[in-house]
Each structure stands twice: as structure tokens, then as C-alpha cells.
Structure 1
Amino acid sequence: MASRLISDRRREPAALPSDPLAAREIVRAARQRRRRDARRRRYLVAGVMASAGLIAALGLGRQLIFTGDAGDTGAPSASVRPETPTLAPSSPPSQPASPPPEAGPAKGDGTFAYASSAGPVAGAAGTLKKYRVAVENGSDQQADAFATAVEQAYGDPRGWTAAGDLRLQRAAGEGAADFTVFLATPATSEAMCATAGLHTEGYTSCRITGKVIINLARWLTAIPDYGKPVADYQMYVINHETGHELGHGHEACPGAGRTAPVMMQQTYGLKGCVANSWPYLDGRRYTGPKVP
């Protein structure tokens, strides 16, 4: 190379004096100087390494403080902003694209057949309310058979007439009545509920003024993990939606392992409670915490 770095150049050794003692002193002084220079270089390298280690340690500590688990620092991670919790209304569980055959037709004719004859009075005393029973045409269900189940719910000593201040009686056909209990396919029940702004996604039942609307698929199959036979769910859904018609609002599960109130939205899950079909237990009205 035409030029060389200064650190690469070699110094020519200086000539020693002819006097041995003087030469020895010069060599000894040069050796001590080299040792001293070597120690200085070692100290410098050690200092640089120590500084680098300290910087790295500080950086690591900062990383642990700001990106570690919340449990390590007692505070949420600063590298991820915690989301503000939001409240959302309950929504029906996700359903398969095609309902199972046992759930019945997904859509019917949109017209209804009514139970033909009048029924007995349920309840010993109180205001008499009359109701009609209707089943959608094309649902593969019979109005008279559905009417029998409704009468069973209303006539049970655990039903809404248990308090002695209400009587219920089925009217014949499309005769005059205070309300109607409908059994409708998912598509029709959704359309009926939507007229009052209730969106059931074809999954749940509902009540709008004067109409108790039972979803056919839930009637035939209940819900997953209900823990009791479908017949028990049928009694529950009639009593729940009729409870709304009688002026009762939603109630919550009173605690894990406790009995679910009939006005709890059991179709959305039991929330740790045990399924229950009836508003009265042991002769007394059974309730849970009111849902706002």
C-alpha cells in the first residue's frame, strides 16, 4: 500500500549506548513503560465493558418495567394499552348454517292454524284472562297438541295461577282473547318479534304485546347443556314468555348452584344456576335479582 495507518507503522529501535549499565537502565525503563501502557489499555477495555454492561442492564430493566406481565409490576403493561371494557347485550349462541332435522322446518307458510276448542279454567280465583293457541302452517306441528302443552303449563300448581289472583282459560279458535300463544318456525318468529324491534336471529322466543311467540326450533330441541329434558324446557319457555305478558321483567341467576328463576333468560345459558321451569316453588313465588 502507498500509505499505511499510523497504528500499523513500526518504530525503529533506538540505538543503545555502549555503556552496559546505561543500556540496561534504558531497556528496563522501556520494559516498565510497556507494562504501564499495557495496564492502562486493560483498564480502559475493562471500563468500556463495564459501561456497556451497565447500559445493557439499564435497558433490560426498563424493558421489564414497561413490557412485563401485569402480575410482575402490579400495573398493566405500558407497551399495550388496556382496552376499556364495554357492555353488550346478550346475543344468541352461534348456530350452524342448517339447523338439525329434529329442530323442524326453518320456515313455514307464515299463516296459522288455531286450536279448535275451548279449554278448562286454570286457577281457583282471581282475574280471568283468555288466550288463544296458534301453530304455524308448514311447521309439521298440530295446534291441539301444542294447546295441550300450554294448558299443562298454566294448570300446574307451580304455574302463574298459583297465587290465587289469576285464572287462565283457552278460547276456541280465533275467538276473543287477551293474548295468543304462537308456535312459529325460526324465520316467522324472527319476523314477528322484529315488528317490536326484538331481533332474535331466529334462535330465541319473545313476547310482544298480546303475543307470546315460541320459536319452533327451541321448542323441539331446547338448548345445549340445559341439563333437563326438552319437556322441561318447553314448560320454561311458555312460563317465561307468558310472564312477560303478565308484566314480569327479566331476573338474574342468584348464585352458582342455585335454582334459576323462571324469568331468567335461560335460553342464553344458565350462568351457573340449575334449570327451572316454574315461577312458584314450594307454594311461594321464586325470584332472582332484577335485571335493569
Structure 2
Amino acid sequence: MPLPYTLLIDPLPADSPRTDFAGTFQAVDSDAPALRVAELSTQRGDGVFETLSVVNGHAQEVEPHLARLANSAQICDLPTPNAAQWRAAVDDALRHLPAEGQLALKFVLSRGVEHGPAPTAWLHATAAADFSGMRAHGVRVVTLDRGYPRGVAERAPWLLMGAKTLSYAVNMAALREAARRGADDALFLTTDGFVMEGPTSSVIIRTGREYVTPAPSGAILHGTTQQAVFEYLSSRGERVVYRDVPVDELRRADAAWLVSSVRLAVAITALDGEPLPADQPLTDDVNAFLLARTA
């Protein structure tokens, strides 16, 4: 089946007893009209999504991505996804996708048509971008003020900061601002100087013998790839820690990485124009581990 590949899903309630999902999803021509003009995902970004990596026919971290999709849906007052149905849709898609190479598989759950009876959902598979250069040579990063102090998500849950929503205009604007500053990517900071995450990634730093990532909170997504990297580091006997990270600690780090599902792990080689030490051998080892996973 040629790429891109799109599978529309007729979402079932989370408590549906159904085990046969035949007929609840169908492949559609990715170039053909499939959504109505009144679809709220396109009009308002009123929906949630996840993107996972498919490597040589194996979908990576399906369960963590489904769990995070459900969490985002709960935050946004969307119906809880039926996990078994989504697993079946992934399996169906994999039977039609190339068995070699790396793909990006996106889950989308939207509120649907305004005043409509049900949400809209789909899977969309594309060939993954070539990130081999970034994995081999690292990225230059700038820090950007996110405009909120630490703790804002708990005080203002309507900001939906803990959900992975389709409203990605700010994240894309941050990447354009990074490019304007001569960098490859960005890291968001709270107004009181704590590290959050990248527009499309989590951050891991090494300080001494500790590998640290900002503690997941209402404002910081619990990265699925970051969790996998921590599992790998723990298997090597390394100490991994979740806690608040002041930006000054990041600037003094012995090494730092951005990690995400499709790009995987890339070393930060410069921060706000200042060189940062990079551990390329460990970066290569981490990416070899991530690419070798079968689940």
C-alpha cells in the first residue's frame, strides 16, 4: 500500500463489550476528501493526537501512546478512547504498511462536527523524515520563555497544558523562532526559569552521574521515548531522576539530549549560542536500542 495511508475510525465507547472491530475502521484515499468543513479539528484544533514510530513493521510504544491519548482526552472532556479498538486499528494498518524502514503513525481523536453526534478519529501513516544527520551531529537549541510560571497548569487547568492537543500553532511558531535565531530547535522555560520541554520533544540532561528530566506535571507531558531511554539507562546501571531543572543546571550540564518518538535521541551541541558537551557514543547506543525495539 503506498504512503501516506489513512484509516478512518468509527470510535466505540471505552466500555463497549465488542471484541470484533470489523467495519469500525476503513482505509481511505489520503488525497480524497474525508472530513467535513465543520470538523472541529480543522476549524479550532479541538482534538488530541499522538505520533508513534513504526520501525521495520513494528509499532513502538503503542500502550504508552494510547495511555497518553486517553489522558489528553480526559483533560479535554473528550470520550475515552476504546483502547482495544485502537490496538486493532494499528494492527490493521500494519498489515498494509511497508515492512521495512521507519514510518510515523499519527493517532487523532477530534470532537467531530459541531453539534454532531460523535467524535471523529483516524490513523495516518507517512514515511518518517530523515533524521540521521541530527542523530549523528546533534542540534543547536535556543531557550524560549513559555510565558507561564511553574505551577500554572494546576492553577489554570483550562489551559490544557497537560494534553497533547491539535492546537500546535505555538509549538510551530517556536520552531520558526529558533530558526530565525540560527538554531535547529527550542526548549521552553517557565517565566521563573525552569526547564519544561521542547515543542515536539522531551529533554534529558546528565549532571555528574545522574540523568535527569523535568518532572512530569500538568504542564509537561510524560515523554514516551524519554521513558524508554530511562529504562535503557537503568538497565546499564545508571541513575535516572525526575525533578525540577533550573535553566542554570541545563547550561552547566555534562551532556543533554532532546528525545522524541520519530526523531529519537539527538544531542544538544549548543544552547543559546554557547557550546554544550555532547556524548555521541551514548547517543548512538541509545538510538540503536530504540531502533531495535519490536514493541
Q: TM-score, normalised on structure 1?
A: 0.23
* Structure holding more strand per residue: 2
Q: TM-score, normalised on structure 2?
A: 0.23
Instruction: Indicate the structure (1 or 2) with the bigger Cα radius of gyration.
Output: 1
Give the number of the structure with larger relative contact order, counting CA–CA contacts within 8 Å between residues 6 or more apart. Answer: 2
